[in-house]
Amino acid sequence: MSRTLADILAGPEFQAFEGGLSSRVLAELWVRFWDWVRGMFPGISESQAELLTVVVAAVCLGAVAYVVLRALPQTGPQSARRDPEAVPDERRSARDWLRIAAERARASEYRHAATALYQGFVLTLERRGAVDSHPSKTPGEYALEVAGGEVIDERAKDDAANFIRSFQELAFGQETPTSSGYRGLEQLADHVGCEVTGEAGR
């Protein structure tokens, strides 16, 4: 059977590239693989050997495909959910920034956590229609934009103003940030709608 299959693959209908070189190589590999299977299981019938050859070949190809896919860099949405820091800054969502803030807070990196929390805060306000975010805008400009808008109520405006003031003190102040100070910043972010996780100091 193996030689018959090799003859078929080497026939004129399979001569696609340069005199059928590719087909002949494929046929030879198949014959060797077939002979290997028959050598491993000498007591089985020809039909069983054929079925076993196909199954073994499929398993081997599946294993190779699995290894290749695992080795490829993961850049899809699922990867981004696992590691928001793998996403470029300009493509991060408010949730991505808030997750980064929580991770930084767990590591007691409160200045970095505050900066990430601020980014999530701005994008949350943008989602609510209270600001138009832009990398060139300063915290003060966002404070003026929130205060002059009519999208959020006065209490939320006060919370936003307090958040921006506290953020600047924590992120840029001379004193070393503390977990309690960061927790206070998280609470203010929560008041304006940020989905904070409250991980500081845990």
- pTM value is 0.57
Closest CA to 7 of 35, 17, 26: 26
Q: Which of 57-61, 82-86, 91-95, 162-166 has the highest mean pLDDT?
A: 162-166
- Integer Rg of the chain from CA: 31
**Inter-axis angle of helices 154-172 and 179-191, nearest 10:** 150
Give the pLDDT confidence score for residue 32 in this predicted structure: 75
* DSSP single-letter state for residue 173: S
What ranges in the chain are assigned the alpha helix state H?
2-9, 21-40, 46-71, 77-82, 94-106, 110-127, 139-148, 154-172, 179-191
Residues 128 and 152: beta-carbon distance below 8 Å: yes
Give the pLDDT confidence score for residue 10 in this predicted structure: 54
Residue 6 has pLDDT above 80, yes or no: no
Residue 202 has pLDDT above 70, yes or no: no
pLDDT in tens, 143-192: 999 999 988 999 999 999 999 999 999 999 999 999 999 999 999 999 98
Query: What is d(CA 182, CA 71) in angstroms, rounded to the nearest whole number?
Result: 39
End-to-end CA distance of the chain: 68
Write out the two tokens for 141: 């400009």
Sequence ranges of the domains in the chain: 2-71, 78-191
Closest CA to 27 of 56, 6, 1: 6
Write out the two tokens for 38: 């028959």
pLDDT in tens, 19-70: 455 566 666 776 777 677 767 777 777 777 677 767 777 777 777 776 666 6
Contacts of 132 (CB under 8 A, 6+ apart): 126, 145
What are the CA-CA distances from residue 19 to residues 5, 14, 46 (Å)? 18, 9, 31
Give the pLDDT confidence score for residue 27 in this predicted structure: 67
